[in-house]
Structure 1
Amino acid sequence: MVFRKTLLAVLIGSVAALAGCNSSSNDVDDKTTTLPTSDYTNIIDRAGNPDALRDYDEYDNLKYNAFVDNGAWHGHLLPADANGYGAFGGIMQVTQEYANFMSGQTFDKLHLLDKTSGNVIDLANATANIYSTPGALVQILKTDQVEVQMFLRFVTDRTSLVETKITNLTSDDLDLELSWDGELLQNAYEKPNDNGGVTTQTIAEMYPDYKRTISATDNGIKINFSDMKENWAIRNDSDAEFRVTRSIPTITAASGLTFKSVTAAEIDEHESMTFYSAYSNLHNAKEVQSETQKVQAILANPASYMNKSQARWDEYLAKGLTNAQATPEQARVGVKAMMTLNGNWRSAAGDITQSTVTPSVTARWFSGNLTWPWDTWKQAYAMAHFNPDVAMDNIRTVFQFQVQADDEIRPQDEGYLLDVVTYTKPENRGGAGSENWNERNTKPSLASWAVMEVYNALISEFDRKDDAQAFIDEMYPQLVAYHNWWLNNRDHNGNTIPEYGAAVDPAHNTSKSEGNEIYVKAWSADDLRELKWGFITAKVELLKDEPNASGQSRYKIISMDNYNTLLDNKKGFDVGAVSNGAKTATSWESGMDHAARFGEIYDLSRVNSTGDPEMDQLGRYANKKNGFDNDLTQNGKIYAYTDSSDENLAKLLDARLDWEVRFAENRTNDNSPTGTLLGFSMLQESVDQASYMYSDNTYLVQMAKLVSPGIAAEGDVKRFTDHATFIKDYINTCMFDEGTNFFYDIRMVDKHGQDSAYEKNGIMCAGKPLVERGQAPDGWSPLFNGAATQEYADRVMDVMLDADKFDASTKYQAKGISFPTASMDNPAYEANIYWRGRVWLDQFYFGVSSLDKYGRADDAVRIANDLFDNAEGMTGDGAIRENYNPETGAVQGATNFSWSSAHTYMLYRGFFK
């Protein structure tokens, strides 16, 4: 750290004048605080010393779990070692859509100099007691001369506050120089690489336009940042600031990325002095002006703000920890889940006008105030029991952007909920732009489930009946509009069983002037523009991508007819990997990205992209089904089937058709070609969406009876009741397979694209159960939602408890976690695949709830206990993760993941009694 000598001289010369201002007889006010204590210390490992803005683990998570609370936009770490004693300097900064570290552990570190002797009182040599509680970070540092107590709490939605108490342990008065210094991180990126080392890049190399400057303010510093956009890692405006403000007078010198502040203090023998430091992360000049005034009020009466923060956490724990039968370990997991959800709470900022909850503040793609509906329903359901106001606001954030009839971009989507909303709207919606906003798809309809849980909790647990009534009065019309959108825009055959699909969007269809036609991109060694392949050649374009490793070129294939020709491939043209934007949006819409039922299975293209011949899942499936010879020959780095005869490859093509997903356009006027394009439906009715639609109807019936007069339309109760009855009959009649004792999606056309509707027990089923793509958690969604008959539920539960299918904690004793996202005998299963193997705790919770609801409570508790015991870090101090390996319990994906935490909290609350 380098300062100009003239600035240091000014500091040293000014310190003496401050001594009388900072003395043991001059504490800030006469109110007192209590050093944070708790039965729940060090629940999550909060220690760390960041080396880079993007100091990542292998999954692109920030490596350390900063403490963030009260909806704030920054967090702090405990020191990783003695060098960091005296600071909570590892600061995580949330910049609109991303989170990054700003500084290492020694930033704003307190130094003590005994001016009488000239000796440094080195806190690195102190006896240290360092810990976290659910609502605070604490350091107690003791040397021969002094004890320094420091603790940090969040006191507003932009500011954290550190109380520092220095006690003179000697029998002599102490004349001290206090100083703080620090330097901003200079590395941009650090992440483990495949070679066992670490890849590092500096900010100058990676973000040369990112300018940061520290300057002095009254009794503190401010850090200014240059405007940063469109880099997928840092996003802030040029008037954003980070501020540090102290309650005692200081003199500061700052130069570039470094600073030093100095003051003097006199502490009488065996007396103490207390002062405060406020840390504020602010998005723009308006926030700077507002929060600066708040900070002055805080520093005028800091203890009261600290005590209010403590009281807030006392209330969370009192309301949230209600399971007296839970073991101490289970209760600690419940607290960890509450801490994680509150840590992912972001207060109102940018275009989002109320609080929200994000999937993970520490995960690269899930931070900022990014809000998804599917995550929101689960987060709100859990937070209803300890932080109901944030639960309500999280739901409101999703509905803030519900599409209205006069929408300028998609008026055809009235009632639609967008998949991801962000700090600022995209430019085409009049905003300042966004890198993560997404309206290609929505998410499943569990909204009413969440709203009713909040309503009931407000009444029964918080005695807030008026607030509960106001909330369902507010939400009911919006929920009905969302319900109606599914029936209007995602029900291709008009039988009131919606499909998953994709909205009109340039990511998967051409522009309106070009016909709004669906398109896909495919690699091929053949020129797909030639007439002999059967395409409409005017709608096949050669793209400018460089040939891939197999020497294939990439083509854009436009129109539904061309897409179906690609699937059927009767002419035998070469096809490698196909990128289908509509299928991607459809899988996102389900909340189960790339699940097997959406045709996702690894094939030869995956083998050649990874170099791993074991990735040929489709070849093995074709071998088992059709006798396909799936032996591979390697030529250099490229694998090919040894038997490339037409006869053998025809067996592969037939098998591939079992995994191909077809689409249809949804248009007004009964899908008339001249009707307005509403979007695209996968020609597959999904059993989970049908089940969610069933429960949505049942909850809307309840709400229609509860809302204030004039809010529900006449006939709503009958309409929703009748629809629920029909869906329940449809699911049990059409979606259960007698041969395999499980529920499945049903394909609305056969593998060759022909209509497959048939009548059964007086109901017209859209098609047969899609058994070929194996079993997965969607098969127990009729149980979770209460739509299954007891007879079918019993048979499904037998499958769920089969150790060779789903009961992995029985198969892999003392390490497995049950309910992987594909059965272990599914052709597309592999333990590490995102949605075809890994255990996701929403589907896990739906599974144990299904067992409990239909009479297998003992098995539900056993499997829940196995999760707590076997999931890596769960009962220790590890973060709750996005997903887990079903065979080993190893953590995977995002750290500090909200919906995992929500369901973990629900398990604590409901299953250990």
Structure 2
Amino acid sequence: MIKKLHILFFLSLGGILLGCHTNKDISKGNKTRFSYPNVLNLKGNIINPNQEGVSSFSDLGTWHSFSLVDENTSTKKGAFVGPFLMRQQESIWLSPSLVGLTIKDVQADQLLDLSKASLKENTFYPGVLKQSFAIDKLDIVLYLFNINQRSSMITAEITNNGKAKEFQLGFSGSVFNNFSKGIRETAHGLEVDIVNDEKVNLVFQEKNIHLGDSDYVYLENARLLPAKGETSISMAMSYTFSTQEEQEFNKKNIAGLKQAQQLLSDNEHRWNGYINTLNQGDTDRILAIEKYDRLAVKSLLTLMHNWRSEAGDIKHQGIVPSYAATYFQGLWAWDSWKHAVAIAPFEGELAKDQIRAMYDYQNQEGMIADCFFRDLQIEGVNWRNTKAPLSGWSIYKVFEATNDKDFLVEMYPKLKKYHEWWYINRDHDNNGLCEYGSTDGTRIAAAWESGMDNAVRFDKATIMENTKGAFSINQESVDLNAYLYQEKLFLSLIADRINKQEDAEKYNQEALKLKKMIQEIMYSEEDGFFYDVTLGNQNVVAIQGPEGWSPLYNEIATKEQAASVMKVMLDDTKFNTPMPFPTLSAANEQFNPEKGYWRGPVWLDQAYFGIMGLYNYGYKNEAKEMAEKLVNSAEGLVNSDKPIRENYHPMTKQGLNAEHFSWSAAHILMMF
């Protein structure tokens, strides 16, 4: 049974609750979702199932999404684009438009030609797609929103500004030809076969369907609409992955049709709650919410659009890196830790489940898998490597947002086992400084374990066997050990919270010892920066990258060391590039953002760590200035409806690689 999501937020602002049909703010000075129209451009027209480049909207963890029609290239009114089905190897558009309003004038015995309607609004607001238009003295407003983790609802509100008249209301749509053989009538609507047990279901209130080869028309019984009269009609669509789910959500959605207006109102209150939460918090923000509120909302939307509910081999809900890239339709370890921290103030249960989802793939030795997917028969779990240890930070930050001590009790033994795994499997010489490594003895998987896949600092590294199935590269990485230091502190904090005082003291003492080692071994007095060091002789690997400011982010550096690192970070020949914080110093001869991935492009997680590192050591003005430079310079981030990108070119500031990227959004959101 799929876990019930807690989707209702009760929002009281000055004692006034917003009704579901107004686009006005709740009260003067308070913003609602209607304050943020078209933060992202979700308009487009689809002509083939594999079309790319059209962004879409989802919510509550559905594995499908919809878009608005592009009014500049389409005359279609009364319809929404899609759905887009997020599948593991081939995400596809099922239809150019599966759900469109249909109106029949009974007296004239003809369908209204909605292409002749006057379009008034075609807007994406957080949590809902809205279209309104007028035709034949009818004013029509359509909404598309999600009602549970598998389903969307489409509801239309019709007002008659003419004489009393009889109408038949309904819906129509089509599927692409490759799905036409799989469309059939059911007891409550239509069913479309995708593959195996994957199905799309449409449910209606009545059973009056005409089914063509690849299209359908549904019309309800005639109703008299008096002058100035109002009426409404709704339908629901689900995308499910088993017969049990299909039956469960058909039943839920049939019941939901009877309370469509309440569900729309609930959706609005929930999203207004998110907006309200966004505007609360610390007044000493890195980024000013008043100046960059649309960017903050865009960041939140990016995470919410990448929210996926539990399905198949994903046992807990979580946030995928990007719905726009088929290869990112799974969960990754260090992505997940970052997503959980960012989303926790808005959706605490989602944040906790994001962490649980990764720990579902913790083996008996304590290792957490790098990544996994909804269907492991298509693509298995990556056990070749894990990822940098940020889960202690994630667990404790989620606790701070939710105040759920039971969650700490649940996660503590798992976190403790994972932490100890590093020292058993990734400390080749048992000196207390760990290395990145792999389970298969390949250096490439060891580099993946760092998350910085092709970073220059690993170019000359070699792989060594520790024990059977445990390999390390021949260098001790400063970021890895800085994260392990931080994790010891969080283990100590968690142990203290759950009354394990002996553990709390143990981890605190270990942290102090590790801190001193990093300060003394991994810092170069010569150029004032932290580096990886080679095993044995502990010579610095003199490549300047973002790992060098991880001791500032994790508050390991002495004040003097931090001052020196700060100078390197703010040097415009190194890291203070036109868009700051590249993943390799611009002074390095191998700096190559065009081909680099981790050899130059700006990744916003590493930029965030740098900004917070400055902030931690009292350089608050510098931190804020660099944060503003970061977001103002990046293509499409501020004052734009373009999506947030995976990374950015530090010189041209152009967005690179995947669009709608979650951890980029997560770290922007953290700065608010």
Q: Could you tell me the TM-score, scaled by structure 1's length?
A: 0.67
Separation (CA, whole Å) in 2 of partners of 1:374 and 1:896: 17
Q: Which amino acid aligns with 1:500?
A: Y
Separation (CA, whole Å) in 1 of partners of 2:209 and 2:614: 63
Equivalence for 1:378: 338
Q: CA deviation at 1:495?
A: 0.8
Separation (CA, whole Å) in 2 of partners of 1:697 and 1:825: 35
Match among 246, 271, 284 for residue 313 of structure 1:
271
Equivalence for 1:41: 37
SS at match of 1:90: strand
Equivalence for 1:391: 351
SS at match of 1:88: strand
Match among 494, 502, 507 for residue 438 of structure 2:
502
**Structure-to-structure mapping, 1:539-558, within 5 angstroms:** none
Equivalence for 1:587: 447
Match among 258, 262, 282 for residue 300 of structure 1:
258
Rate the CA distance shift 1:691–1:443 in 2: closer, same or farther, 3 A.
same
Match among 400, 403, 421 for residue 372 of structure 2:
421
**Structure-to-structure mapping, 1:346-357, within 5 angstroms:** 346-357=308-319
Q: CA deviation at 1:401?
A: 1.6
**Structure-to-structure mapping, 1:718-757, within 5 angstroms:** 718-748=505-535, 756-757=536-537
- The answer (yes or no) to whether the contact 1:36–1:136 under 8 Å persists in 2 is no
SS at match of 2:342: helix
Separation (CA, whole Å) in 2 of partners of 1:478 and 1:118: 67
Equivalence for 2:645: 881
Q: CA deviation at 1:345?
A: 1.2
Equivalence for 2:100: 109
CA deviation profile, 1:462-485 (whole Å, cap 9, x unmatched): xxxxxx110111111111000000
Identity %: 33
CA deviation profile, 1:786-815 (whole Å, cap 9, x unmatched): 11111111101100000010001xxxxxxx
- The answer (yes or no) to whether the contact 1:215–1:255 under 8 Å persists in 2 is no
Equivalence for 2:362: 402
- The answer (yes or no) to whether the contact 1:321–1:334 under 8 Å persists in 2 is no
Q: Which amino acid aligns with 2:21?
A: T
Equivalence for 1:366: 328
SS at match of 1:95: coil
Equivalence for 1:458: 402
Q: Which amino acid aligns with 1:722?
A: Q
Match among 423, 431, 442 for residue 487 of structure 1:
423
Q: Which moved further from structure 2: 732-741 or 87-96?
A: 87-96
- The answer (yes or no) to whether the contact 2:141–2:156 under 8 Å persists in 1 is yes
Rate the CA distance shift 1:494–1:212 in 2: closer, same or farther, 3 A.
farther
Instruction: Provide the aligned length of Structure 1 versus Structure 2.
Output: 635
- The answer (yes or no) to whether the contact 2:88–2:327 under 8 Å persists in 1 is no
Equivalence for 1:890: 654
Answer yes or no: is 1:68 the counterpart of 2:58: yes
SS at match of 2:371: coil
Separation (CA, whole Å) in 2 of partners of 1:678 and 1:450: 28
Separation (CA, whole Å) in 1 of partners of 2:336 and 2:89: 17
Separation (CA, whole Å) in 2 of partners of 1:53 and 1:864: 40
Q: CA deviation at 1:307?
A: 2.0
Q: Which amino acid aligns with 2:539?
A: K
Equivalence for 1:472: 408
- The answer (yes or no) to whether the contact 2:201–2:238 under 8 Å persists in 1 is yes
Q: CA deviation at 1:97?
A: 6.2
- The answer (yes or no) to whether the contact 2:38–2:124 under 8 Å persists in 1 is yes
CA deviation profile, 1:454-503 (whole Å, cap 9, x unmatched): 111223xxxxxxxx110111111111000000000111100121100001
Q: CA deviation at 1:88?
A: 1.4
Equivalence for 1:603: none
Rate the CA distance shift 1:328–1:288 in 2: closer, same or farther, 3 A.
same
Q: CA deviation at 1:591?
A: 1.0
Q: CA deviation at 1:143?
A: 2.5
CA deviation profile, 1:563-615 (whole Å, cap 9, x unmatched): xxxxxxxxxxxxxxxxxxx122111110111111110xxxxxxxxxxxxxxxx
- The answer (yes or no) to whether the contact 1:212–1:225 under 8 Å persists in 2 is no
Separation (CA, whole Å) in 2 of partners of 1:380 and 1:177: 47
**Structure-to-structure mapping, 1:8-157, within 5 angstroms:** 33-35=20-22, 38-56=34-52, 63-81=53-71, 82-95=74-87, 99-104=91-96, 106-117=97-108, 121-125=112-116, 126-157=118-149
Separation (CA, whole Å) in 2 of partners of 1:90 and 1:434: 25
SS at match of 1:699: helix
Rate the CA distance shift 1:219–1:718 in 2: closer, same or farther, 3 A.
closer
Answer yes or no: is 1:242 the counterpart of 2:200: yes
- The answer (yes or no) to whether the contact 2:44–2:81 under 8 Å persists in 1 is no
Equivalence for 1:523: none
- The answer (yes or no) to whether the contact 2:46–2:81 under 8 Å persists in 1 is no
SS at match of 1:322: coil
5+ residue gaps in structure 1? 1-31, 57-62, 187-202, 204-209, 227-237, 405-413, 426-432, 460-467, 505-517, 519-581, 600-659, 668-676, 749-755, 758-766, 809-815
Match among 202, 214, 217 for residue 183 of structure 2:
214
Separation (CA, whole Å) in 2 of partners of 1:41 and 1:318: 16
Equivalence for 2:27: none
Separation (CA, whole Å) in 2 of partners of 1:51 and 1:36: 32
Equivalence for 1:864: 627
Rate the CA distance shift 1:319–1:173 in 2: closer, same or farther, 3 A.
same
Separation (CA, whole Å) in 2 of partners of 1:822 and 1:124: 53
Equivalence for 1:701: 492
Q: Could you tell me the TM-score, scaled by structure 2's length?
A: 0.91
Q: Which amino acid aligns with 1:835?
A: W
Separation (CA, whole Å) in 2 of partners of 1:335 and 1:699: 30
Rate the CA distance shift 1:828–1:179 in 2: closer, same or farther, 3 A.
same
Answer yes or no: is 1:684 the counterpart of 2:475: yes
Q: Which moved further from structure 2: 325-334 or 780-789?
A: 325-334
Q: CA deviation at 1:781?
A: 0.5
Q: Which amino acid aligns with 1:666?
A: N
RMSD: 1.9
Q: Which amino acid aligns with 1:252?
A: I
Match among 433, 436, 443 for residue 387 of structure 2:
443
SS at match of 1:84: coil
Answer yes or no: is 1:185 the counterpart of 2:142: no
Rate the CA distance shift 1:179–1:163 in 2: closer, same or farther, 3 A.
closer
Separation (CA, whole Å) in 1 of partners of 2:593 and 2:436: 26
Separation (CA, whole Å) in 1 of partners of 2:270 and 2:553: 34
Q: CA deviation at 1:51?
A: 2.5
Separation (CA, whole Å) in 2 of partners of 1:161 and 1:869: 37
Q: Which amino acid aligns with 2:393?
A: W
Q: CA deviation at 1:837?
A: 1.1
Match among 820, 828, 831 for residue 590 of structure 2:
828
Q: Which amino acid aligns with 2:663?
A: W
Separation (CA, whole Å) in 1 of partners of 2:424 and 2:451: 21
Equivalence for 1:805: 574
Separation (CA, whole Å) in 2 of partners of 1:452 and 1:111: 51
- The answer (yes or no) to whether the contact 1:317–1:386 under 8 Å persists in 2 is no
Separation (CA, whole Å) in 1 of partners of 2:82 and 2:23: 20
5+ residue gaps in structure 2? 1-18, 25-33
Rate the CA distance shift 1:97–1:478 in 2: closer, same or farther, 3 A.
farther
- The answer (yes or no) to whether the contact 1:79–1:90 under 8 Å persists in 2 is no
Equivalence for 2:7: none
Separation (CA, whole Å) in 2 of partners of 1:134 and 1:167: 25
Rate the CA distance shift 1:403–1:97 in 2: closer, same or farther, 3 A.
farther
Q: CA deviation at 1:177?
A: 4.1
Separation (CA, whole Å) in 2 of partners of 1:818 and 1:212: 53
SS at match of 1:42: coil
- The answer (yes or no) to whether the contact 2:62–2:150 under 8 Å persists in 1 is yes
